[in-house]
Structure 1
């Protein structure tokens, strides 16, 4: 029977090979002779810090012995969190995710370790080590999957937020898996969870889900707002401090979401009703600076969206008013500018309006369309890339129908690549249809780029789905 190697044996072999005494090695490693001797003889286990010193002294890469450390000191011995915790943090620093996965798998048969692993995951998340934190959250969630615990719900919330990214297909799956756990979160944390869910569904244009989640969020936020001002207790105020926004924002943002739902569905009258609702915030009792900031934002959004709703409903007379509003918005972010351009293009394409002179005002924004921005506002990072891809499509549609084929195909290719990155098959196919409709006007280089992209998408799908990848 072949025995598994040990770090102790590897160190002993190295000392003999180099003809090095324990004292000499200890001097190189920055450890006293007694500790080195105890480790070599097996009379003492070692910490990850000591292991790192030994590894460096042996002139080996960082983390070289981590797999053996797991075998020798975690799997083969009763779990000791005083040893495991610093090891997990060190693995996260070195991005050794497989090692973290092995440790979690070896100790999570016992749910008693869940609280400590959860705490470690929270620290890693705060440090920005999301992939490492994800492995711990998943381990805790798996161990507690039959528990009706708040910790399980928080793990699922963290897993959801970490997994959300560019891939809209993956985002939909993450949202669907997380949604049943929202009710298990504490009453305040539910509000941020619902906001995040609504934003993901909005980026996916799942308007029925946006409305459903928004209405739930509004009802819960109204209850909490009433309680806050009825009780006026320090405990209640401390409770609501956990929110990322002032409490009233969740009520008003729910109205804004519902307005966006009806706007997308073409019910502009109802969209205006909700817009007027979040514009009127006289009921808000707070007067602090943060509250005033958000009230100002909602007023800004309401003014813009009320004009947009009229414009999209076919009232072309408000277009000049909208342009004046845009010109006056000196604090508008690039995200705001792209949304403003998108609204104009949708109306132009729907009602056949010539907006060439208006588009020129957005030349800088159009030139930077390909830059992926992250949003720090109420929109999450998924909504912004979708708007950018959508704006590229509407620009392409406008230019191609205007006979400006070079710019049209350029923006269409950008939109296609963006929707491929977002893994949004529906809108990728829309782009393909638009290209094929105008293909006779494409130069050979553009046709070649289009065919190369289609082949790349096909090959990616072959790899992902395991389809036969040869022809003939």
Structure 2
């Protein structure tokens, strides 16, 4: 369809070719003849749903005429939200993002549309249509950028959530942008926002930032918990509730802070924070959700005490740690990562443990498609594990296994744009390159070139 042809002209042409009258077309479209007649005579504007029916009847995919629909039916001096809203929803479902941007551009100077755009963005976000929602959030944020508004902060929060993915640089940029707005959210949204920020910086291994946001999370969660106990116990039907029990945010804060201290090799302080969430006897509620989260944190305290002692050089906890994770599939990869960290640092021999989990290790190393298997945090954990496994093998002159793990780590680091880990892999390879066969060196050069191209 050319830019000068109208939807009506296309329909008239179709009716002429098929020799259809208004009644015939109405039956074919399952629409009221009066609606068709009004459109054909230029007395009526089509809704997007009516356009979709006509489009399908003419043999085109839904959305075929959307670009023309914008210029012919939506570009009024006084935009009609009742017509725009369903059109934007349809565009979101069809991922016609350019059309959404066009419509939103019409509303940029009309502040009265900030509220309905925000409400629609929330609906699209809830439906998982994140890219479409992001366009609306961005434009609502622009319209309120000079205001210290809660809605502006919520737009930034949603943009942060929608931008989290495999690309670590983009995750970092999104976290930095949202970090300046998190304090403007309402009290309960602040808890979720701080938790999300701390988790993102955790996956990026920026432990100072983890400590900063985790500390703020704990302080705010403690205040909210005390307030909830001071207030009447009966909850208002329409009052907003937190996503998790309030004590769980407090406990998560200390879990994160313990990990941050462990990663910075301050194991004494790390242990202090583990002990804080190990004993939650002061939480007296007995509802199912509370009991579930109390048990979770008590279990995590057990395993994290093993990790804390192991990383501080206590090899005696290895048997108990291995026994603990043996029946917990989700704990195997993090545990092997921690065990290899200690083995490389203190020169432990853990061949027997690697043999015990040989099938799991082969499964991890065999997963080449990051996007189809690993979540963001699991991907980061796998990268660290595979590099540590490579170092362990290479130091023991098990070069075939070592280079295999190292190149897998490097390849996935490049795929998710984790430049720091890619460079660490390169440095490790250089240290042992004299032991690499020619085909391994060739594959390494290919990956190294990819890192160089990315830098350019």
Shorter-normalised TM-score: what interval? over 0.9
SS at match of 1:44: coil
Select between 106-115 and 453-462 the one with higher mean Cα deviation: 453-462
Q: How far has the Cα of 1:270 moved from its partner?
A: 1.0
- TM-score norm. by structure 2 comes to 0.94
From 432, 438, 441, the counterpart of 2:432: 438
Q: Secondary structure of 2:95's match?
A: coil
Q: Tell me the distance in 2 between the aligned counterparts of 1:244 and 1:80.
A: 36
Residue ranges of structure 2 left out of the alignment (5+ in a row): none
- Decide whether the 8 Å contact of 1:117 with 1:140 is kept in 2: yes
1:159 corresponds to 2:137:
no
Instruction: For 1:200 and 1:143, locate their aligned partners in 2 and report how far apart those are by CA, in whole Å.
Output: 28
Write out per-residue CA displacement over residues 256-307 of structure 1, whole angstroms, 9 at most, x where no aligned residue: 1111111011111111111111112121121222212211111111111112
Cα distance change of structure 1 residues 348 and 223 upon mapping to structure 2, 3 Å threshold:
same
Identify the residue that residue 10 of structure 2 maps to in structure 1: 10
- Contact 1:255/1:277 (CA < 8 Å) preserved in 2? yes
Aligned to 1:293: 292
> Residue 343 of structure 1: CA displacement?
0.7
- Matched with 2:61 is 61
Query: Which structure would you say has the larger RCO, counting Cα contacts within 8 Å and 6 or more residues apart?
Result: 1
- In 2, the alpha carbon distance for the partners of 1:160 and 1:343 equals 30
1:22-421 matches, within 5 Å, as 22-235=22-235, 239=239, 241=241, 243-327=242-326, 330=327, 332-334=328-330, 336-370=331-365, 371=367, 381-421=375-415
> In the alignment, is the contact (CA less than 8 A) between 1:221 and 1:250 conserved in 2?
yes
Distance in 1 (CA, whole Å) between partners of 2:77 and 2:34 is 23
**Post-superposition shift, 1:237?**
8.8
Take 2:275 and 2:402, find their aligned partners in 1: how far apart are those partners?
A: 37
> Whole-Å Cα distance in 2 between the matches of residues 461 and 17 of structure 1?
57
Q: Which residue of 2 aligns with 1:467?
A: none
User: SS state of the match for residue 421, structure 2?
Assistant: helix
What CA distance in whole angstroms lies between the structure 1 residues aligned with 2:382 and 2:251? 25
Deviation at 1:373, TM superposition (A): 8.4
Per the alignment, in what secondary structure is the counterpart of residue 338 of structure 1?
helix
Normalized against structure 1, the TM-score is what? 0.91
Aligned residue for 1:447? 441
Q: Which residue of 2 aligns with 1:466?
A: none
Partner SS for 1:157? helix
Cα distance in 2 for residues equivalent to 1:118 and 1:363: 51
Shift of 1:383: 2.3
RMSD: 2.1
- Bigger Cα displacement from structure 2, 248-257 vs 133-142: 133-142
Check 1:201–1:38 CA distance in 2 against 1; reply closer, same or farther (3 A cut).
same
1-structure distance, mates of 2:170, 2:384? 19
